Structure 1
């Protein structure tokens, strides 16, 4: 099978038949063998009934249904596990992504040998305040922290080589940063393509302001795991040493001031520098211990992995 189209959705009953027809017509015209996987993320409308109807008519239409809303990342993860195509295409179910982009995305993966191609909605039809401005901030922060020069990390329309989606682990709200996860997993041949974007035809956007905060927190998580996930002592140890040196410096200052200059007045314990010194040294010790414990956990996992390899051989 050449292409698997993975479509996570939530309450999109009005657009599913039209989307299915659009995808099928495009791929069959270009002679592709394909499957379409609809991942119903706990819809409360008739989306699942529409998917069942479509799957009864066509063998290459498949559906996965969650008993409640788990989020787009979990829906994509389920779709990635079930996908059988050599190239996996992800797109949204709201008809804002254009299926006619799929043939070019497929060729970029198979002929240009990219691991991942991300769509770039250069011209958008979303609300400036609700989606455009937050997306620009997300993308700028993601470019800065990841080193990937992509304009639109969060575009739903993407193409992946099969090995990529079977390797990366999408969880939480990490679907926004799959290109970063792929890069951290060793897939460095990542590109982007300008894609058409349509205005929403049915329903309402699922974007909420809580996603704005969650997105930045997830980006911090990815940055930390990518930079220090395999060497936590480099971060916590360095911060711990810095804090301890600051605290020790204040303690030394107080000691020298008391012993050599015999300044009259308050006791050392009554001076604010004493508490700054105490807190800084305690924080330094705790950070250093956190880094040390992190290294022990990683060492334990590496030893267990080596043991399992020996057992397998």
Structure 2
């Protein structure tokens, strides 16, 4: 029986070369949502996989029904673009996202939905408190990054990198994700809603059992570069002239003071200053100050042109196949209690067709 008080739910899972995890992931999502008494759909975004992942996803969609939608991107655009594509295609009032490597547990989703509704939050993010990852390669860099991100953005949560999150669709669809900004979603959401409407809850984390990780220690450097972009856009997106102006005025002040000091030495003491390194530093500071100030003025002009022009959204991905299996919108939602009739085998593959129970 459908409970009209339960919001409709879209589950978005980006996948890239995860063919061994396709069957178990879809099966676990259905097991987790058995007791959810509202409409729900599963959107799996294939991010240009080359190992047969999209074909495996279509087989699962045929097995379970049209509520399992496969969105194929034309090539590998990255996790952030794949996640944005899924969010754009989602139709639910709530959107849950998680990784496709089975390290996030779909069984946490119903509990997270209840917590988000009870606390009246707009975003609830998972906290992998007992993380099952390599200490040096994953845990330590992640802890450093989490503290650094929290300090700079002002949004204090323990685990920015956890993909298991639940959002209100009306809020997350106001946020556009670019580059590799999926790590900073709480910070971007905080630009739309107060930080008090962002919560965190401990979730289960499993060790990877199939496939290979797409991340390495190099992502630490990408996080630092992305963090600089987040800092700039959160504080100076609408007033970039202030950012460049502060740098320009600071350097200009330093250069002016140095030139005044050298002028006293030249005219009061009669010393030669032409060969002093300090003179070169002063001149460079003044020139750099002029460049930063003019850059700030140009940035203000560009910013105002952007905000005054039409806000046409630009996508950073190209969809090859949306996977809309039916024109009947009602048929594309999973009914409450929709599960696999027969038990899954050891790989998590369904051994019989899915049907609706209850």
TM class by smaller structure: over 0.9
Q: 2:234 pairs with 226, 240, 243, which one?
A: 226
2: CA distance, partners of 1:35 / 1:95? 18
2: CA distance, partners of 1:155 / 1:237? 36
Total equivalences in the alignment: 303
- Residue of structure 1 in register with 2:44 after alignment: 38
2: CA distance, partners of 1:305 / 1:100? 42
Per-residue deviation, 1:305? 5.5
**CA offset digits 1:4-53 (Å, max 9, x no partner):** 10000111111111111111122122333210011111111121111111
Would you say 1:73 and 2:80 are equivalent positions? yes
Per-residue deviation, 1:62? 0.4
- Residue of structure 2 in register with 1:47 after alignment: 53
Q: 1:126 pairs with 114, 126, 133, which one?
A: 133
Per-residue deviation, 1:111? 3.0
- Residue of structure 2 in register with 1:294 after alignment: 299
- Residue of structure 1 in register with 2:62 after alignment: 56
- Residue of structure 1 in register with 2:122 after alignment: 115
- Residue of structure 2 in register with 1:174 after alignment: 181
The verdict on how the C-alpha distance between 1:64 and 1:124 changes in structure 2, with shifts beyond 3 A counting, is: same
1: CA distance, partners of 2:82 / 2:252? 45
1: CA distance, partners of 2:251 / 2:114? 53
Q: 1:237 pairs with 234, 245, 260, which one?
A: 245
- Residue of structure 1 in register with 2:345 after alignment: none
Would you say 1:12 and 2:18 are equivalent positions? yes
Structure 1 or 2: more helix by fraction: 1
SS in 1 for 2:69: strand
2: CA distance, partners of 1:96 / 1:275? 56
- Residue of structure 1 in register with 2:274 after alignment: 269
SS in 2 for 1:197: coil
- Residue of structure 2 in register with 1:2 after alignment: 8
2: CA distance, partners of 1:302 / 1:124? 42
The verdict on how the C-alpha distance between 1:303 and 1:205 changes in structure 2, with shifts beyond 3 A counting, is: closer
Per-residue deviation, 1:108? 2.5
TM-score, length-scaled by structure 2: 0.81
TM-score, length-scaled by structure 1: 0.93
**CA offset digits 1:140-161 (Å, max 9, x no partner):** 1111001111000010100000
- Residue of structure 2 in register with 1:102 after alignment: 109
2: CA distance, partners of 1:158 / 1:169? 16
- Residue of structure 2 in register with 1:208 after alignment: 216
- Residue of structure 2 in register with 1:310 after alignment: none
- Root mean square deviation of aligned Cα: 1.5
Per-residue deviation, 1:212? 1.6
1: CA distance, partners of 2:185 / 2:82? 14
2: CA distance, partners of 1:30 / 1:234? 49
Bigger RCO (CA 8 Å, 6+ sep)? 2
1: CA distance, partners of 2:52 / 2:155? 39
Residues 11 and 95, structure 2, Cα contact 8 Å, conserved in 1: yes
2: CA distance, partners of 1:95 / 1:259? 74
Residues 79 and 180, structure 2, Cα contact 8 Å, conserved in 1: yes
Residues 78 and 180, structure 2, Cα contact 8 Å, conserved in 1: yes
Give runs of ≥4 in structure 1 deviating > 6 Å: none
Residues 244 and 293, structure 2, Cα contact 8 Å, conserved in 1: yes
Residues 115 and 187, structure 1, Cα contact 8 Å, conserved in 2: no
- Residue of structure 1 in register with 2:3 after alignment: none
Q: Which moved more, 1:210-219 or 1:77-86?
A: 210-219
**CA offset digits 1:96-155 (Å, max 9, x no partner):** 111111111112233321010010000011111111111111101111001111000010
Q: Point out where structure 1 has 5 or more consecutive residues left out of the alignment.
A: 307-313
Would you say 1:151 and 2:138 are equivalent positions? no
